Amino acid sequence: MAPVEEPVVIPSTLVGKRALLGVTGSIAAFKAAGWVREMITESVDVTVLMTGTAERFVSSLTFGALSGNPVFRDMFDEEPDKLMAHINLSRSADFILIGPATAQTIARLAHGMADDLLSTVVLAAKIPVIVCPAMNSHMLTNPVTQDNIKRLQDVGYHVVSPDCGMLACGEEGSGRLPDWQHVREAILSILCPQDLAGKKVVITAGPTREPLDPARYLSNRSSGKMGYALARTAARRGAEVILVSGPVALAPPHFVTTLSVTTAHEMREQVLAQAKQADIVVKAAAVADFKPKSYHTQKIKKSSAQQRIELELNPDILAELGEKSKSGSLLVGFAAESQNHEQEGRRKLQQKQADLIVVNDILGESTGFDVDTNQVTLVDKKGSQQLQLLTKTETANRIWDHILTL
Binding site for ligand PMT (CB under 6 A): 204, 206, 222-227, 264, 283-287, 289, 314, 316-318, 333-336, 360, 362, 368-370
For residues 117 and 168, give the distance between their C-alpha atoms in angstroms, rounded to a whole number: 27
Out of 132, 164, 169, 192, pick the active-site residue. 169
Closest contact distance (angstroms) between CB of 277 and ligand PMT is 19
How many other C-beta atoms lie within 10 A of the C-beta of residue 143?
7
Closest contact distance (angstroms) between CB of 270 and ligand PMT is 12
Q: Facing residues of 48 across strands? A: 21
* Residue (25 or 368) nearer to ligand PMT, CB: 368
Residue 171, burial from CB neighbour count under 10 angstroms (0-12, 13-18, 19+): exposed
Q: Which helix (H) or strand (E) holds 212?
A: strand 210-213
SS3 category, 28? coil
For residues 113 and 107, give the distance between their C-alpha atoms in angstroms, rounded to a whole number: 9
* Residue (57 or 369) nearer to ligand PMT, CB: 369
Q: Which amino acid is at 127?
A: I
Closest contact distance (angstroms) between CB of 376 and ligand PMT is 7
* Residue (21 or 357) nearer to ligand PMT, CB: 357
Give the alpha-carbon dihedral of 327, 330, 336, 338, to 10 degrees: 110
Closest contact distance (angstroms) between CB of 265 and ligand PMT is 10
3-state class percentages of the chain: helix first, strand second, coil last, to nearest 5? 35, 25, 40
Burial state string for 305-335 with b = 16 or more CB within 10 A and e = fewer than 16: eeeeeeeeebeebbeebbeebeeebbbbbbb
- Catalytic annotation present for 169: yes
Q: Facing residues of 330 across strands? A: 280
Closest contact distance (angstroms) between CB of 229 and ligand PMT is 8
* Residue (36 or 396) nearer to ligand PMT, CB: 396
Active site residues: 169
